[in-house]
Amino acid sequence: MRDLFRLEGEVAVVTGALGRLGPIWVETLLEAGSAVLACDRPAAPVSEAFQRIQARFGETNLKLIRADVRDRTALEAGCRQCVEALGEPSILVNNAGIDRPPAGGEKEHRLEDIPFEQNLEILEVNTLGLFLVTQVFGRQMVKAGRGAIINIGSLYASVSPDNRFYDHIRGDPPFLKPPAYGASKAAVVNLTKYLATLWAPYGVRVNALSPGGVLGDQDEEFKRKFCHRVPMGRMATASDLRGPLLFLSSAASAYVTGIELIVDGGFTAW
């Protein structure tokens, strides 16, 4: 059974590798035996979490490249680097995405006043950028006749954000979860099904992994409200996400494609 989850000989690409969830995916894949090409935008700082992973695994099996998911030229150059340094990509984790958390220092807007450009940027990165990355790296998998693509979604692909989670945050206008965020993730889930059916004959599996409420630096009142809404009574931790990613990346899910695996402690069951 252990052999089903081993990734020795695989080459994984992880976008948004320097962000909040990126190091979780990168470390999980490395621990399972895969080499990893980590990708993030040119201006993204290298997080402490990623630095610890670099120190642990070295540069032989972990390479960091800089490319915006909206820049096809940079992505194609990154794909060439991947092949030259690590080998043909066989796993792709489409993790890069943007959101607007509360108290992010940005001006708030009432729904009717949200700038077009703000919605456009979220959709460009979260959905269109994901598609572009898949075009560049996925075609290598199609040529090879094998591969696993995991698109990172969100519980907000299935349900609307509950703005009562944020009503203790004072502001005029009050904070609103960006409407484009959930829309972009719902599009990712549908795109997952499209690609899964299109590429199944070529041996490439495409699935979505949708985390819900990952514990971070949220304020205590938000965490209290959120956990009260979750049947399991808590937020997700890094360890809750590792197993689902490994399952979708490995031979353990050899007959699984086109699904959304929701990891949310039961949030969307209510």
Contact yes or no for 213/236 (Cβ under 8 A):
yes
Q: In what order do the strands lie in the sheet with 204-211?
A: 62-66, 35-40, 11-15, 91-94, 147-152, 204-211, 260-263
Give the whole-angstrom CA distance, residue 230 versus residue 216: 16
Other C-beta atoms within 10 Å of 51: how many?
A: 12
List the catalytic residue out of 166, 181, 194, 202.
181
* DSSP assignments along 127-171, one per residue: IIIHHHHHHHHHHHHHHHT-EEEEEE--GGGTS---GGGGTTS--
181 in active site: yes
Supply the residues annotated as catalytic: 181
